[in-house]
Amino acid sequence: MKPRVFVTRRIPERGLKKILDFCDAEIWEEELPPPREVLLQKVRDCEGLLSLLTDKVDAELMDHAPKLKVISNYAVGYDNIDVDAATARGIAVGNTPGVLTETTADFAWALLMSAARRVVEGMDYVRAGRWKTWGPMLLLGQDVYGATLGLLGLGRIGSAVARRARGFAMRVIYYDPYRRQDLERELNIEYVDLDTLFQQSDYISIHTPLTPETYRLVNRERFKQMKCTAILVNTARGPIVDTMALYEALRDGEIAYAALDVTDPEPLPADHPLLSLTNVVICPHIASASVETRSRMAEIAADNLIAGLKGEPLPAPVNPQVVPGRRQAL
Ligand code: DGY
């Protein structure tokens, strides 16, 4: 008999086919995530769960699913999962690192450039029929070439963003709790403390996971340290930034611009005060959304799921100390 799994949204075919070949899979076909009560009920008899970052996978859910052996998250980030609770129960957790690095770094740059050169404001201007002539003072932005880029976090994606900065002759500084002298040499970047990062950067791009330590790390005090011409880019997780403090900093000219792929809350309601500002670009969490990358994420997510069901090590484990297939009762 094939193992029963629940897949909380339709994912690209390359991964889905593998899952359907190996598992007795139920796929949630709606655009919106399964409501909590439905999710709890769906996982009850499942050995595997393929979750998205919009699904809260906590101890309560795990206890509703006594046969659950593996949780495969279709994302590199896994702040939606209580990994300690999974580990305590012997449930393997997997994620999708690596395959989305370059695509996400590309998008961080797309956001940075569109904020620096006011691309979205330009489009709005043209669409509104306001383009009457060439203007010497029209939509003046800021130079990227030669500016200082501050990276908050130097993991895979932060490093990929730094690599791209070389073509713009930027000074790149970074802060990360783990200093990487190998990368400092390879990428010609400088390690600085957090105060220096916020004070000296023309652009700050966030590439750190969401953890209790990084929650609202970018807050009112940090905005006060930043240059009034600074641009903040966030492709990591919304709650790393204090949204109301960001709104006030943008409104009061404490910083110049923000370019966000992630927000807090997410989705951002259409009547949110941030959307009343012109010095902000917001996208709906699409930094990894290229056709190829989403397919590769689907493949890894499927491989993690199937390995966990077979009792084999996951190709991309979050809690490698768990031996898959040995679910423990608490
Ligand atoms: C992730 O993978 O964590 C991104 O936020 C979505 O691809």
- Going along the chain from its start, the domains and CATH numbers come out as 4-99+291-310 (3.40.50.720), 101-282 (3.40.50.720)
Model confidence pTM above 0.85 = yes
pLDDT tens digit sequence for 90-137: 999 999 999 999 999 999 999 999 999 999 999 999 999 999 999 999
Name the strands in the sheet holding 171-175, side by side, starting at the edge strand that comes first in the sequence: 190-191, 171-175, 148-152, 203-206, 231-234, 257-260, 280-282
Could you read off the pLDDT of 286-314 as tens digits, one per residue? 999 999 999 999 999 999 999 999 999 99
Taking the CA of residue 235 as reference, the ligand 1 atom at the shortest distance is: 5
Tell me what pLDDT residue 325 has.
81
Instruction: Print burial letters for 224-244: b (CB count within 10 Å at least 16), e (below 16).
Output: ebbbeebbbbbbbbbbbbbbe
Using a 6 Å CB cutoff, which residues line ligand 1?
53, 75-77, 100, 288
- List b or e across 292-315, with b for residues whose CB sees 16 or more CB atoms inside 10 angstroms: ebbbbbbbbbbbbbbbbbeeeebe
Radius of gyration of the chain (CA): 22
pLDDT digits (tens, 9 = 90+) for 71-95: 999 999 999 999 999 999 999 999 9
Closest CA to ligand 1's atom 4: 75
Active site amino acids: 237, 266, 285
pLDDT of res. 19: 98
Question: Ligand 1 centroid vs 285 CA: distance in angstroms?
Answer: 8
Report CA torsion sign: 313, 327, 325, 49: negative
End-to-end CA distance of the chain: 27
The pLDDT value given to residue 207: 98
What pLDDT, on the 0 to 100 scale, is given for residue 219?
A: 98
